[in-house]
Amino acid sequence: MTYCVAAKVNDGLVFAADTRTSAGVDDVRTYNKMHVFEMPGERVFIVMSSGNLATTQVVLNHIRRDIADPLATTNLYSFKHMFDAADYIGGLSVRSQRETSSHSQSSVDFRTTLILGGQIEGEDPALYLIYPEGNCISASPETPYIQIGESKYGKPILDRIIRPFVSLEDAARCALVSLDSTMKSNLTVGPPLDLAIVPRDALRITHKERFDLDTPYYANLKKSWSDLLFKSFMELPRFEWEQTRPGQPDLMGQ
């Protein structure tokens, strides 16, 4: 399975993804789900994927071939607008799903869902969810984040924290907590975790990190979040009968 999340705030874009593709008892596999296409100072794109890996690889191969082909009339580096880039990748996705499924007689699901985010010089940063059908929707101030894959466990923290005015660093911490919450409840989402930050108008990735469970920063973040969550829970208002019952044990210190 997969979990990827991207957030658009006033200061730029944040991307985070797990790398687990299978989680059997004796078969744990990982695959990079965050793919970077960058012309520093001119444009930067990040593509994140969920769904059939074979289809995803075909999409990425088409993107790379078009960039490398001097005769290609269009490629990811030729567009002037982010929407056109999203529309282009949506078309490649539909084409790649057809190509992949044509070689199989099985009932395997060859669909893939993608997130495209980035910025082209002269435009604002943008974030798009690209559906398997090739159409897309963009993030907005009312919905400033996009998720794909196993999204339900990590959604509550995003709903509470991600707002346009949130700093890039806070959005990044929130994305990591969202991934940690998902891994806590779903073994098919797992480390290492990839994080990338694209500040507004930087036109490049300024921070790209990979975290494993024992990476000092991530281990500290994970423990701090768990401890603070428990402390906050224990500080919730007591029921009326708890406040009046004699000899009530003090759980606040536990």
* Residue 71 belongs to domain with CATH number: 3.60.20.10
Q: Write out the residue range of the structural domain in which residue 64 sits.
A: 3-213
Asked if the structure places residue 125 within a domain, the reply is yes
For the chain, list the strands marked E by DSSP.
Answer: 3-9, 12-17, 20-24, 27-30, 34-39, 43-51, 112-120, 126-130, 136-138, 145-149, 193-199, 207-211
% residues pLDDT > 90 (the chain)? 69
% residues pLDDT > 70 (the chain)? 90
The per-residue pLDDT of the chain, averaged, comes to 89
Asked if the structure places residue 147 within a domain, the reply is yes
Position 138 scores a pLDDT of 94
Two tokens at 156? Answer: 């509550």
Position 245 scores a pLDDT of 56
pLDDT in tens, 148-189: 998 898 999 999 999 999 999 999 999 999 999 999 888 778
Position 185 scores a pLDDT of 87
Position 29 scores a pLDDT of 56
Number of domains in the chain: 1
Position 30 scores a pLDDT of 63
Position 244 scores a pLDDT of 58
Asked if the structure places residue 126 within a domain, the reply is yes
pTM of the complete model: 0.89
Q: Which comes out higher in pLDDT, residue 246 or 152?
A: 152
**Mean pLDDT, to the nearest integer, of 34-43?**
94
Q: Is the pLDDT of residue 232 over 80?
A: yes
Q: Is the pLDDT of residue 121 over 80?
A: yes
**Per-residue confidence band for 24, with pLDDT thresholds at 50, 70 and 90:** very low
Asked if the structure places residue 240 within a domain, the reply is no
Asked if the structure places residue 220 within a domain, the reply is no
Q: Which comes out higher in pLDDT, residue 66 or 30?
A: 66
* Phi, psi for residue 247 in degrees, rounded to 5: 75, 20
Position 53 scores a pLDDT of 87
User: How many residues are recorded in the chain?
Assistant: 254
**Per-residue confidence band for 73, with pLDDT thresholds at 50, 70 and 90:** confident
Position 27 scores a pLDDT of 46
Asked if the structure places residue 227 within a domain, the reply is no
Residue 72 CB coordination number (10 Å): 12
Asked if the structure places residue 231 within a domain, the reply is no
Asked if the structure places residue 119 within a domain, the reply is yes
Q: Which comes out higher in pLDDT, residue 246 or 104?
A: 104
Q: Sign (positive/negative) of CA torsion 48, 53, 54, 55?
A: negative
